């Protein structure tokens, strides 16, 4: 999920007990730098070495596949040791944000990821750090595209972006409700808070199709991102897919059918 903070709540903690104040501050006892990632926590980070190496390898994968340059803009990643401390911090500093396990926040000067320790930490970090990698080099990325790319890269390396829970969700919709994709509708969404789980799944499916099926389709996505970088705006991807794929909805449904058969 990506969010742009509106007005940050400021709460003076005068008179609060020290333990409460401690829970509401950022974890910063330990710091580890890996390329542009600056990882902060109050617990030892060395034991999680493999996860952080995977995140840096993921940046190389993303830049290669999407033909994006790398950036040296720092990305601060704050890891909270438990959900309680994470939620306490987020409610204080970002009271309007929905209840999630992790966030990416972009301001004029900082790219920041907040995440809580837990079973899905690796997936959450891969997702949120993807947002940061993309935002570091490309402006004005539409929310559906931003989330679709993050859903593609949140699965472990080597999975070729196959996000099984999202695929299964779409297959159920297809078989039970004759679901049809609608990219123009996705393009009309303004914030990730407007997106349903079905929208996330469809966004992932378009990105998986473009990256994984054929080189000429991948070039459509790369060209769109390149135009965004060069001009700050670009003609909608749906129009490019209409021109390049003929019947994009049919192509996407066929792609999902291939995935269902395990032809991946
Ligand atoms: Zn996201």
Q: Is the pLDDT of residue 239 over 80?
A: yes
179 C-alpha vs ligand 1 centroid, how far in Å? 23
User: Cα–Cα distance between 39 and 61 in angstroms, integer?
Assistant: 20
pLDDT in tens, 182-219: 999 999 999 888 999 999 999 999 999 999 999 999 99
Integer-rounded Cα Rg, in Å, for the chain is 19
Q: Is residue 57 part of a domain?
A: yes
Same domain, yes or no: 9 and 131: yes
199 C-alpha vs ligand 1 centroid, how far in Å? 12
Average pLDDT over the chain reads 90
37, β-bridge pairs: 34, 75
264 C-alpha vs ligand 1 centroid, how far in Å? 25
Q: Is residue 144 part of a domain?
A: no
Q: Is the pLDDT of residue 261 over 80?
A: yes
Question: Between the CA of residue 133 and those of 14, 46, 63, 100, 235, what are the distances in Å?
Answer: 38, 23, 9, 20, 22
The pLDDT score that the predictor gives to residue 185 is 97
Q: Which two tokens stand for residue 127?
A: 């997702």
Q: Is residue 155 part of a domain?
A: no
Same domain, yes or no: 131 and 252: no
pLDDT in tens, 91-132: 999 998 888 999 999 998 999 999 999 899 999 999 999 999
Q: Is the pLDDT of residue 9 over 80?
A: no
CATH number at residue 22: 3.40.30.160
The pLDDT score that the predictor gives to residue 10 is 31
Pair 75, 37: CB distance under 8 Å: yes
Number of domains in the chain: 2
Residue with tokens 């900082």, as numbered in its chain: 110
65 C-alpha vs ligand 1 centroid, how far in Å? 19
104 C-alpha vs ligand 1 centroid, how far in Å? 7
pLDDT in tens, 28-82: 999 999 999 999 999 988 877 889 999 999 999 999 999 999 999 999 999 999 9
Ion ligand 1: protein residues whose beta carbon lies under 5 Å? 1, 147, 150
How much of the chain, in percent, has pLDDT values that exceed 90?
Answer: 80
pLDDT bracket for residue 147 (50, 70, 90): very high
């Amino acid at each position: 999920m990506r969010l742009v903070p509106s007005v940050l709540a400021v709460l003076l903690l005068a008179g609060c007990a020290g333990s409460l104040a401690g829970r509401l501050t950022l974890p910063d006892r330990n710091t580890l730098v890996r390329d542009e990632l600056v990882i902060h926590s109050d617990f030892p980070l060395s034991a999680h070495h493999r996860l952080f190496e995977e995140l840096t390898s993921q940046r190389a994968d993303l830049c290669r596949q999407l033909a994006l340059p790398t950036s040296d803009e720092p990305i601060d990643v704050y890891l909270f040791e438990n959900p309680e401390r994470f939620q306490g911090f987020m409610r204080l500093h970002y009271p309007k944000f929905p209840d999630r396990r992790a966030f990416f926040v972009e301001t004029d000067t900082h790219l920041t990821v907040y995440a809580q320790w837990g079973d899905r930490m690796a997936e959450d970090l891969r997702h949120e750090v993807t947002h940061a990698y993309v935002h570091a080099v490309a402006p004005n990325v539409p929310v559906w595209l931003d989330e679709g790319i993050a859903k593609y890269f949140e699965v472990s390396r080597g999975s070729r972006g196959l996000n099984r829970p999202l695929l299964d969700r779409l297959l159920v919709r297809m078989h039970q409700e004759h679901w049809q994709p609608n990219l123009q509708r996705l393009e009309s969404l303004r914030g990730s808070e407007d997106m349903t789980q079905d929208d996330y799944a469809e966004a992932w499916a378009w990105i998986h199709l473009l990256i994984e099926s054929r080189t000429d389709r991948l070039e459509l996505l790369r060209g769109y991102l390149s135009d965004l970088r060069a001009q700050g705006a670009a003609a909608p991807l749906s129009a490019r897919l209409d021109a390049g794929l003929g019947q994009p909805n049919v192509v996407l449904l066929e792609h999902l059918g291939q995935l269902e058969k395990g032809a991946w």
